[in-house]
Amino acid sequence: MLTSPAAAPAGRREGAEAVAHRARRRTLALLTALAALLLVVLASLALGVRDINPAEVWRALTAPVAGFMDHDVVLEQRLPRTIVGLAAGVALGTAGTLIQGVTRNPIADPGLLGLNSGASLAVVCAVWLLGITSPIGYVWFAFLGAAAAAAIVFSVGRGQPVRLALVGAAVTALITPLITLVLLRDQQAFNLYRFWSVGSLTGRGLDTVTALWPFIVVGLVLAALLAHRLNMLALGDDVATALGQRVGTTRALAAVAIVLLAGTATSLAGPIALVGLVVPHAARRLVGTDYRWVMAIGALLGPVMLLTADVLGRLVLPRSELEAGVVAALLGAPVLVAVARSRNVVGA
């Protein structure tokens, strides 16, 4: 059947309009995510047991007055807490996007695949055996634990979405009693872990972020370089190979980036669950399935979710607070249930 000459230009116009609409939608989503991030950063600096006027927050950042209580609270307590939330949130959001893309599994995240458990076991062993209690000290052990868990899950799972989820659950089930055994043997490890394990942004100084930010940057650079490869990988291994992609290399580089990002985030804030699961789903809702955009939006929405959870945790209890990890789990659990109830839970 021949297409009329008039129909071809009309079809091209409709295609161009669709492309323009998609570009506007993605740009709007990016600007909205940036605005949300700025608002939640301001809320993190201003809100808490002691509410501080935004104008006073600005003066504390630009022209602090020594000894002024509001300025001291902003600079010494809330600014480090906010920067930790930004760093850990970016890392978790990007790591979750990478994991879901490389496994084609929409319920995958660092926690569900056992990486958080591996990092946690390594940290408590470092406290128990070596007496290391600072994030700067045990970050290397968090990397080692996350890397070991990732190696087991990816080697046994062999890239198959269902098998990866099952192996991740098995690794977590194996590691959890080992963590408990260490905690029962060492009071110092127990005292650190009972606070650290729920996920919190408090108790970390700017020196910790200063020591760890290079690992996040390297992980983010690797993730950005892999984004276009994830688009091809989403079509299946055979199609990706036919298009000239080295699937094994892609998964190996993704594993390195995931270990760097998830290990650093766990070292900074503890094993916070579900941020890496919820954020990629929200990003795909906003910008579609192009991983170059999903990765960018996810990197912004990660800290938005984590800092929002931290701010809500300060406000929900008078004169006290809930840790960010608890609130993030409460926010993310309904999304996990909704994803699990959907028809296409895992990729092929």
First-to-final CA distance of the chain: 36
- CATH number at 155 reads 1.10.3470.10
pLDDT of amino acid 344: 53
State the amino acid at position 192 in one-letter form.
L
Compute the chain's Rg from CA coordinates: 22
- With 60 as the cut, is the pLDDT of residue 345 above it? no
Instruction: Give the pLDDT mean for 158-180.
Output: 84
Per residue in 209-246, pLDDT (tens digit) is 888 889 899 999 999 999 988 888 887 777 778 877 88
16 in a structural domain? no
pLDDT of amino acid 239: 79
In a domain, 128, yes or no: yes
- Using pLDDT thresholds of 50, 70 and 90, give the confidence band for residue 3: low
Residue with the two structure tokens 């941020």: 275
pLDDT of residue 223: 94
Long-range contacts of 169-174 (CB under 8 A, 24+ apart): 169/112, 169/114, 170/114, 171/113, 171/114, 171/117, 171/118, 172/112, 172/114, 172/117
42 pLDDT tier (thresholds 50, 70, 90):
very high
Query: What's the total number of domains in the chain?
Result: 1
Q: In the 8-state DSSP scheme, what is residue 241?
A: H
Query: DSSP 3-state assignment of 112?
Result: coil
Tell whether 91 is covered by a domain. yes
pTM of the model: 0.87
Stated as kind and residue range, the H or E segment containing 323 is none
Whether 260 and 85 have beta carbons less than 8 Å apart is answered as no
Q: Is residue 187 part of a domain?
A: yes
Q: What is the pLDDT of residue 64?
A: 85
pLDDT recorded at residue 161 = 67
Expressed as residue numbers, the domain containing 272 is 84-341
Q: What was the pLDDT predicted at 296?
A: 94
Give the model's pLDDT for residue 32: 94
Cβ-proximal residues to 287 (8 Å cutoff; 6+ apart), any chain: 25, 26, 29, 30, 293, 294, 297
Q: Is the pLDDT of residue 347 over 50?
A: no
What pLDDT, on the 0 to 100 scale, is given for residue 195?
Answer: 75
Provide the mean pLDDT of the chain: 84
Q: Is residue 114 part of a domain?
A: yes
- Asked if the model's pLDDT at residue 1 lies above 50, the reply is no
Q: Indicate the pLDDT class of residue 82, thresholds 50, 70 and 90.
A: very high
Give whole-number Cα distances, 211 to 47, 130, 151, 261, 281, in Å: 27, 20, 25, 14, 31
Do residues 130 and 144 make contact, with C-beta atoms less than 8 angstroms apart? no
The pLDDT, as a whole number, for residue 43 is 94
